Amino acid sequence: MNYWLMKTEPKTFSWSDLENDFKRRGWTEWDGVRNFEARNNMREMKQGDLVFIYHSVSATEIVGVAQVVHESHNDSKDTTRTWQCVDIIPIKKLARPVSLAEIKEHRALDNTALVNRGRLSVQPVTPEAWHYILDLASKPV
């Protein structure tokens, strides 16, 4: 199993939107990614991989865990057939969001893509960082 992080602007598509989409359709097509490295990361995703959902821009925090249910396929909104996407479902909202500021306070997370490659919208997360962040989410601030 691999771990990932996907960014979304909560005003465009929030954790609540992901949950509502799941109730309505059974999954969400994570479409609209228009960066080659992020697209290539989605091509590496496998069914069952876990994904942190990160609210970017205004909130800058990890808010929940999703799971890949359908592997890479053509983005239905792309007529050029250049861009790929995966389908995900919400698994759980974190007990509390883990902010980027909090992540940057922990040296154990210094080498994460979120800290070093902040603009990348779909990025890998190491198993160590994954479990560390989940542990942070389970503790009060």
Tokens 């198993």 belong to 127
What Å distances lie between residue 7 and 14, 42, 45, 107, CA to CA?
Answer: 10, 13, 15, 22
Torsion sign over Cα 21, 8, 113, 44: positive
DSSP class of residue 115 equals H
Q: What is the pTM of this model?
A: 0.96
CATH classification of the domain holding 16? 3.10.590.10
pLDDT in tens, the chain (141 residues): 999 999 999 999 999 999 999 999 999 999 999 999 999 999 999 999 999 999 999 889 999 999 999 999 999 999 999 999 999 999 999 999 999 999 999 999 999 999 999 899 999 999 999 999 999 999 998
Domain count across the chain? 1
In angstroms, the CA 141 to CA 121 distance is: 26
Cα–chain-centroid distance for residue 59?
A: 14
Domain that holds residue 23: 3-137
Instruction: Evaluate whether 18 touches 66 at the Cβ level (below 8 Å).
Output: yes
CA-closest candidate to residue 30, choices 51, 3, 16:
51
DSSP β-bridge partners for residue 99: 61
